């Protein structure tokens, strides 16, 4: 499924459900780690130049992904039951488009250089677990990436 930063921006109140995640580790991050108020990078993956393009805000705690219970939907899971849901979602709100997108190719180059030098992207999950759609980002990584993208610092 394609869902772009512009799609999020155009939603009512710039808010949408982040649903359809079907990886257990990613599900655990949605269910257990993401909290209202947390910021998240918005990553474009289904395009010619994948990369980080924006920032969204988590506006709900994790809750059972409704698409798992809807026969005929792409993310339906017949084995999941409402009394014991297997998959979770969160609501996200558009925050901003990065002044400068961060292409995956550049992030990979920086990750490799930082592995050698001990720089802030030495453990970047995007490069160490690239198939995972929901990934933690350390404070050090966040500061480096937002600065690299030209996001103004908040006082």
Tell me the pLDDT tens digit for each residue of 6-20: 999 999 999 999 999
Q: Which CATH number fits domain 5-149: 3.40.630.40, 3.40.50.720, 3.10.590.10, 3.40.50.800?
A: 3.10.590.10
pTM exceeds 0.85 for this model: yes
- Whether 132 shows a pLDDT value over 80: the answer reads no
- pLDDT confidence band for 145 (50 / 70 / 90): very high
All structural domains of the chain with their residue ranges: 5-149
Tracing tokens 């992030």 back to the chain, one arrives at: 107
d(CA 118, CA 89): 34
């Amino acid at each position: 499924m394609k869902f772009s930063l512009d799609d999020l921006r155009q939603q009512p109140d710039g808010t949408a459900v982040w649903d359809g995640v079907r990886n257990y580790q990613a599900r655990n991050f949605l269910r257990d780690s993401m909290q209202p108020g947390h910021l998240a990078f918005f990553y474009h993956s289904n395009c010619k130049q994948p990369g980080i393009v924006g920032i969204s805000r988590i506006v709900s705690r994790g809750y059972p992904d409704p698409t798992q219970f809807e026969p005929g939907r792409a993310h339906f899971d017949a084995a999941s039951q409402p009394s014991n849901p297997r998959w979770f979602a969160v609501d996200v709100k558009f925050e901003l488009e990065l002044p400068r997108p961060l292409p995956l190719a550049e992030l990979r180059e920086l990750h490799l250089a930082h592995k050698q030098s001990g720089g802030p992207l030495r453990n970047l999950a995007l490069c160490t677990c690239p198939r995972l759609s929901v990934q933690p980002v350390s404070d050090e990584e966040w500061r480096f990436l937002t600065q690299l993208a030209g996001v103004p610092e908040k006082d």
